Amino acid sequence: MIHLENVRKEYIEGNAAVNGIALHVEKGEFVFVVGDSGSGKSTLIKLLLKELEPTDGEIVVNRTHLKSLKKKEIPLFRRNIGVVFQDFRLLKDRNVYENIAFAQRVIETSTKKIRKNVPAMLSLVGLAGKYRSYPKQLSGGEQQRVALARALVNEPTLLLADEPTGNLDPKNSWEIMKLLEEVNRRGTTVLVVTHNREIVDAMKKRVVTMKKGVIISDEKKGGYLYEN
Amino acid sequence: MRISTLFYLIKQGMKNIYRNKMFSLASIATMTACIFLFGLFFSLVTNFRHIVKVAEEGVGVTVFFNEGLSESEIQELGKKIEKRDEVMHITFVSAEEAWEEYQQVYFKEHPELADGFKDDNPLANSAHYEIFLKSVEKQDSLVDYLTSLEGVRRVNHSDVVANTLTDVNMIVAYVSVAIIIILLAVAIFLIGNTITVGIAVRKEEIAIMKLIGATDIFVRAPFVIEGAVIGLVGSAIPLVIIYILYNKVIQFMAEKFSILSLEFLPVDNIFRYLLPVSLAIGLGVGLFGSLTTIRKHLRV
C-alpha cells in the first residue's frame, strides 16, 4: 500500500525534515507513526498525499509512483485516500449532512447515491441523529467523527490521520480510535500520526517512531518508545 | 459532468455571490454603470448616424453640362456617373424643370413677374444631374472624377457640410470608444476583486476540496459562474432601464426640438443590436475578470 525508499525532504537546502527514510506498509495494516514536533511526521503525511514533492527518493502509494504522477492525475489519486486532521477542518457554514455529502459532491457522485451513503456513514460514526447540526453545535469528539465520516464516505483504501485525537479528551480519543480500528477491520489501511502515548501503548499495533527526520524504530505490536 | 454536479456548481456560484454581498453588489453596480453608458452612447451614436445618414442623403452634387450637349451625350454621361461606387442615385433635371422649380421658389407670391419671360427660358443652359451619395466621405473623390469628365461645365458641391458631418461622426465614435474602454477596465478590475475576496473567504474549503480529490474544473467552476452571473446581471439591469427610458426620451426630444424635425430610431431597432452586444460584453467581462483572477490566485 505504502512504499517509501530513501525519501528525503528539504524545505531549506541542507536541512532535511525527512532524511532518507524507508517505510513499507502493506494493505490492511494499522500503523502508528509517533515522534515529537519536528520529527517529520506531518511532512510524511504531506508527501504521501503529494502535497509536497520529495527532494530525493521514491514514493509509491496504492501502486502509484508519485514521481511520475502528472498534476491533472493528482485528484484521482487522492480519491482513494481519506484524511483526518487534528483541527477537524469541517466547513462551518454547512451542517453535518452537507459536510459529508460535500466529499461525495467533489468526486461527482450522483445525488441518489449521496442520499444513501451519507446516512449510512453517519450511522457508522454514531451521529445519525445529528445530521442537521452545524459544527459549532457539536463537541470536539463529534466534530472529529464527522471529519472521519467525511474521510470514509468515498470508501478510500488508505486512511491517513494526522493527530486525530490531539484536540480531544481521553474518552473521545478512545471513541475515535475504536472507530479507526473498526474501519481498519473492514479492510482500510490506516496510518495514524499521534502523540497519544496511552492509546499507542494500549492498542498494540505496529508503531513507527521518528526522530529528527529519520525512523529510529519500527515495531510490530509495539509501544510508545519515544521519550521527550 | 453530471447534471446534478452542474447544478451543484451553479448553486455554489450563486452562494459565492450571496456570501460576498457587498463586493458582488459593487461589481454589479459598476457593470450596470458601464453597460448603461455603453447603451447610452450606442443609442446616441446609432441615432446620430441615422440622422447623419438622412442628412447625407440630402447632400447632393450638381453637375452642369457644356452648352450644346446632345440628349444622347447627356444620357451617356448619366450612365457613367451612375456606375460609380460613391453614387446612391442620380436625378436628371431638365432646363424646363429647373425653371419651373425656380418659379415655385422665387415667384410664388408674384407669378406675373415670371410671365415676362414667356417661352424664353432664362435657365436654358441649366439642365443638370443631381447626384446623391452613399456617404459624404466619398464626395471629394466623386467631384474629382466628375470634373475630369468631358462635357461637364461645372460641378457644384458643399465641402463644409460634408466635412463637418464626417468630423462629428469621427469625434463621437472616438470619445465613446475611449469612455467605454475605461469603464470596461474598471468593471474587469472590480469583478476580479470580488472573486479574489471570494477565494480568500473559501480558502479552507478549497484546501479541503483539493485534499479530497476535486478536479481543477470543480474547484474553479463556482468562481467562473460567479463572474458570469455578475456580468450578466450587471448588463441586464441597464438594458431594462434603457428600454424604459428610451421611448420617453425620444418623445421628449421630438417635442422639445420639433423645429429640427429630428427623426429617431424606434427602440426595437436599437435593441436588435444593443441587447445581444451588451449581454455578450457583460458575460465576456465577467468571464475575463474571473478567469484572470482564478489563474492568478487559485493555483489548484
The answer to whether residue A100 scores a pLDDT higher than 90 is: yes
Query: Which site among A93, A108, A117 would you substitute to test the B interface, given the most B Cβ atoms closer than 10 Å to its Cβ?
Result: A108
Rounded Cα–Cα distance for residues A220 and B7 (Å): 49
State residue B197's pLDDT score.
81
C-alpha torsion angle, residues B43, B176, B181, B249 (rounded to 10): -30
pLDDT at A58: 92
List Cβ neighbours of A130 (8 Å cut-off, separation of 6 or more): A96, A122, A138, A142
Write phi, then psi, for B191 (nearest 5 degrees): -65, -40
Structural contact between residues A194 and A180, judged by C-beta atoms closer than 8 angstroms: no
Mean pLDDT of B66-77: 82
Is the pLDDT at B188 greater than 70, yes or no? yes
- Position A185 pLDDT exceeds 70: yes
What integer is the mean pLDDT of A158-174?
88
* Position B181 pLDDT exceeds 90: no
Nearest to residue B226, comparing CAs of B6, B10, B34? B10
% of chain A exceeding 90 in pLDDT: 41
- Cβ atoms of A135 and A127 within 8 Å: the answer is no
Is residue B293 scored above 70 in pLDDT? yes
Quote the CA–CA distance of B290 and B281 in Å, as a whole number. 14
A108 with B218: Cβ contact below 8 A: yes
Residue A31 has pLDDT above 90, yes or no: yes
Instruction: Identify the closest residue of chain B to A101 by CA–CA distance.
Output: B8
pLDDT at res. B137: 73
Mean pLDDT lowest for which of A121-135, A170-184, B192-206?
B192-206
Dist CA B129 CA B83 (whole Å) = 14
Mean pLDDT on B167-190: 79
**Grid coordinates of B58:** 440630402
Task: Return the pLDDT at B261.
Answer: 64
Of the pLDDT bands very low, low, confident and very high (cuts 50, 70, 90), residue A101 is very high
Region A103-112 average pLDDT: 87
**For testing the chain A interface, which of B212, B217, B219, B300 should be mutated: the one with the most A CBs within 10 Å?**
B212
Q: In this predicted structure, what is the pLDDT of residue B200?
A: 82
pLDDT band of residue A226 (cuts 50, 70, 90) is: low
Rounded-to-10 torsion of CA A146, A183, B206, A194:
90
Rounded to an integer, the average pLDDT of B252-260 is 76
CB contact under 8 A, B5 and A108: yes
pLDDT tens readout for residues A50-69: 988 999 999 999 899 998 89
The predicted model gives A145-160 an average pLDDT of: 91
Q: Which residues pair with A58 in a beta bridge?
A: A5
The one-letter amino acid at B18: Y
Residue A227 clears pLDDT 60, i.e. is over it: no
d(CA B174, CA A214): 70
What's the gap in Å between the CA of A214 and the closest CA on chain B?
26
The pLDDT value given to residue B259: 67
Q: Order of strands across the sheet with A56-61?
A: A15-25, A2-12, A56-61, A64-65
Choice among A2-6, A48-52, B4-8 with the minimum mean pLDDT: B4-8
Q: Taking a C-beta distance cutoff of 8 angstroms, is the pair A180, A161 a contact?
A: yes
Q: Looking at the predicted structure, is the pLDDT value of residue A3 above 70?
A: yes
Instruction: Report how many helices (DSSP H) and strands (DSSP E) chain A contains, helices first.
Output: 7, 10
Average pLDDT over residues B235-254: 89
pLDDT of residue B158: 65
Lowest mean pLDDT among A167-181, A200-214, B197-211: B197-211
Instruction: Count other Cβ atoms within 10 Å, centred on residue A69.
Output: 15
Half-sphere exposure of A133 (CA within 13 A, CB side): 13
Task: Give the whole-number percent of chain B exceeding pLDDT 70.
Answer: 86
pLDDT of residue B294: 84
Position B228 scores a pLDDT of 92
Closest Cβ opposite residue B213 in set A72, A79, A91: A79
- Predicted confidence at residue A7, as pLDDT, reads 92
> Do B208 and B80 form a contact (C-beta atoms < 8 A)?
no
- Phi/psi region, residue A211 (left: phi>0; alpha: psi -120 to 50; beta: rest), is beta
The residue written with cell numbers 452613399 in the block is B134
Structure ipTM: 0.80
| Residues in B touching A89 (Cβ below 8 Å) | 204, 207-208
Cβ–Cβ < 8 Å for A6, A20: yes
Check CB contact of B211 with chain A, cutoff 8 Å.
Answer: yes
- Is residue A69 classed as helix, strand or coil in its secondary structure? coil
Q: What is the mean pLDDT of chain A?
A: 89
Mean pLDDT of B263-267: 84
* pLDDT one-digit tens code per residue, B88-108: 888 888 777 777 777 777 776
How does residue A96 score in pLDDT terms, banded at 50, 70 and 90? very high
Q: How far apart are CA B182 and CA B174, in angstroms?
A: 13
- Residue A161 — pLDDT band, cuts 50, 70, 90? very high
Judged against a pLDDT cut of 80, whether residue B214 lies above it is answered with yes
Using the beta-carbon criterion (under 8 Å), do B212 and A79 form an inter-chain contact? yes
